Amino acid sequence: MELLIGSHVSLTGKDMLLGSVKEALSYNANTFMFYTGAPQNTKRKPVSRMKIQEALALMKENGIDKNNIVVHAPYIINLANTLKKETYELAVSFLREEIQRVEEIGMRRLVLHPGSHVKAGEEAGINSIISGLNDVLTENQNVVVCLETMAGKGSELGISIDQLAYIIDHVFYKDKLGICLDTCHLNDAGYDLSLFDEILDEIDQKIGLDKVLVVHVNDSKNPRGAHKDRHENIGYGTIGFDILNAIVHNKRLENVPKILETPYIDNKAPYKEEIQMFRTQIFNSDLKKMS
């Protein structure tokens, strides 16, 4: 099977989703991830203006399966906040709207940061996430919400497989939940990615490997266990190319979209070069000189 790899792309300008597809194709990607609007706010353009049919036609023409496309929910959704009622209520209502938007666009995978407990404590935050998901998820939705593994910055939750397993175990519609593995976040949370198959074994035992629906592929600027969450370009961080390459080509995740979220280099997206690295399995030591 061909490697299923792409990157975050923008959804802006008059071409909207059609422009996202064009950008992904310029990187030689066969999947991609986008936000339906700015990740920091709730402003969203009507789905009818997103040029969905034109985008789907271009995807089909280039062999891109819409079921492998990933949408990322905005960062402002915080289901774990029990200290501000209005923040929690906004999170629930906007996540519900976002799921509906993704349904209308015709995609199936929606990545969500589980949330931060904002000093209320892990137990309160996790129970709040469960409550929020139970409020939002419905039996008949097609969209699967993928809880992302987090680095543990501040009061972030979802920093361990156990936390994610507990959340999924206590949600009514478990089939509407999956997980997104972020390599930088796993590293910064303390997981040793050189033992990635052992991590997959733990996920399989506690959650089910079939729940892994997205992998964010990022190197890290920080050592393992730093709880910092600062992405680095592929092969230029503390994880390194060899480990990331082994993860990308791991047969157990062969059908899972791999999405790059690495930093721009001198205001230029590095995704074409990084995708090429993984396709050839050869590290590009000149990537940082590409400007």
Give, as one character, the DSSP assignment of residue 268. B
Q: Is 148 annotated as a binding residue?
A: yes
User: Residue 50 has what DSSP assignment?
Assistant: S
170 is in an annotated binding site: no
Give alpha helix (H) positions in the chain: 16-26, 52-61, 85-105, 122-136, 161-169, 183-189, 196-206, 241-248, 271-280
Q: Give CA–CA dist 2/48, Å, rounded.
A: 33
CA distances from 263 to 6, 101, 175, 220, 270 (A): 14, 28, 33, 11, 8
Maximum distance among all Cα pairs of the chain, rounded to whole angstroms: 50
182 is in an annotated binding site: yes
Q: Are 52 and 45 in contact (CB under 8 A)?
A: no
Count, residues in the chain: 291
Residue 227 marked as a ligand binder: no
CA distance 66 to 64: 6
Three-class DSSP category at 5: strand
Q: Which of 110, 202, 92, 105 is nearest to 148 (CA)?
A: 110
- Residue 113, annotated as binding a ligand: yes
Structure tokens at 215: 């992998």
Query: How far is the C-alpha of 236 from the C-alpha of 252, rounded, in Å?
Result: 25
Positions at the binding site for Zn(2+): 72, 113, 148, 182, 185, 216, 229, 231, 261
Positions at the binding site: 72, 113, 148, 182, 185, 216, 229, 231, 261
